[in-house]
Each structure stands twice: as C-alpha cells, then as structure tokens.
Amino acid sequence: MNDKTDNQSGPELAPPDHRRPSGVDDATVAAAGKLSEALECVERARGHLYSFHQLMGHGDLLLGEAVEALADAGHDVIADRLDTDMIGRNIAPGRWTFQLVEEFDDGYWTPLREHDRAVRKELLAGRRHVFEAEMKERRRTHGRSGHEARPSD
C-alpha cells in the first residue's frame, strides 16, 4: 500500500508526544515499537493471570459450598475428604494464586515496564507509540471525517 500522505507536513500532524524525535532512524523506531508490542503481549498475559487468580479463588469458594452441601446431604465422609484434601490447597508448591501474581508482577512485569520506559527515554525522548503514530499518519486519509490526526481536529 502506498503512503497516503507525507507524514511530516500539513496542518494535521500527529501530536508532538507521538512524533519521532529529530535524528531518530527507522530501525530505532521499529525496534522500540517491537519492544512496546512485546510489553503489550505481556500485559495481556498478566490479565489472564489475574483472571486465573480470580477464577481459582471463586472455584475454591464454590468447592467449599459443595462440601457443605455434601455434608448437609449426609455424605460426611466424602465432604471431610474433599475439605481436608482440596479446600485451601496450594496450586503450586507453597503458593496460592495471589503469590504467583505478586511474583510475576515483581519479578517480570515491573522490570519489563521499567526497561520499556528506559528505552523510550534513551531513544525516543520518552515518547510512546511513535511507530504506531507514524503508521496512522501513513494509513489515514487526511481531511476526511473519521480520519483526524487527534481528537481536537
């Protein structure tokens, strides 16, 4: 697909906080964009981890209700077996899901976010989504409703 417009001229430029700093080459913008994409993927994984955490907690509470219902129905031996073996059981050695979430946040997610921020600061004057902003400028139709560079246009 051909560029629709020169992305560095005209009245409808991307906001300054998304423009490529002077002297930054295409390879640097692409590399920083790839790091941003990796972080976004990890953010999605983190969301799934939190979903897992909440689902496991809810499942454990439901299991407790099932144990109570079994006991109420006169199945005390089965209820006791489930209560002793499964209620409050670790999902990994010594860990409940909240501990996995904390370890992930502290040991992987936070350091990756710090690296992403540092790379953007060192290479792109701290600007976010420069790669995507330039893609938007190439792909949108200048002057057409629904294709504005920013909300105020």
What does the pLDDT look like over 49-77, one tens digit per residue? Answer: 999 999 999 999 999 999 999 999 999 99
Output phi, psi for 43, to 5 deg: -60, -40
pTM of the shown model: 0.81
CB 32 within 8 A of CB 131: yes
The domains of the chain are located at 23-139
SS3 of residue 57 by DSSP: helix
Higher pLDDT, 90 or 10: 90
Alpha-carbon distance of 133 to 123, in angstroms, equals 16
